[in-house]
Structure 1
Amino acid sequence: MTQRIKVSQLPEFDAAEYLNNEEDVASYLTIVLEENDPALLAVALGDIARARGMAQVAKDSDIAREALYKALRPGSEPRFETISRVCAALGVRLVAQLLH
């Protein structure tokens, strides 16, 4: 007989703990972008910013730390300018690719 586990019993997953190098960050963003979900992109950028240090990313993007947390939280809808500035601060850029 299989034991059922409730979702509430599962440990929390924090992607920031696994973003240890540039390749991990690039792979994570690529997978997220393939989902075509702006809210998921904001959360992913927040994960990367937390992995790198939110205060440093805020400084490098010239966005107040509190505003950055707010812009990159689940359910947020950050402006493209915010996404662009955060990407620049993280040392990544979003690239257009033809659909196959």
Structure 2
Amino acid sequence: MSTLQKWDAVEHLGSEEEMALYLEACLEENDPALVAAALGDIARARGMAQLARDTGLTREGLYKALSADGNPSFATIMKVIKALGFTLHAEAS
């Protein structure tokens, strides 16, 4: 009998393009918790310690805020997006 293995998005985020596409797909879902978790996945793929230095936030605080159960402020989301090298765009639907 085979066992299921836990799927981790981080293992599939090997390039900047993959990270950007992943974040964009999550943004399209209009789910704040999903966006925060996606940013957490991207941060783990890049290195949470460096992101903490770049944002001025603690590693522990970032892990908590960017988890599926986290509830980060919009200011935190914007700091993380900027530190990860992404920009947020608005587009008429």
Tell me the TM-score normalized by structure 2: 0.93
Count the aligned residue pairs: 92
Task: Structure 1 unaligned segments of length 5 or more: list them.
Answer: none
C-alpha offsets along residues 16-44 of structure 1, whole Å, 9 cap, x if unaligned?
11111111011001100000000000000
- Cα deviation code 1:69-91 (max 9, x no counterpart): 11001121110000000011100
Rg bigger for which structure? 1
State the AA in 2 paired with 1:88: K
- Percent identity, aligned pairs only, is 55
Q: Find 1:91's aligned residue among 85, 89, 93.
A: 85
Cα shift at 1:63: 0.5
Question: Is 2:39 the counterpart of 1:45?
Answer: yes
Higher mean C-alpha displacement, 47-56 vs 73-82:
73-82
TM-score normalised by structure 1 residue count: 0.87
Structure 2: 5+ residue runs without aligned partners? none
Alignment of 1:24-63 (within 5 A): 24-63=18-57
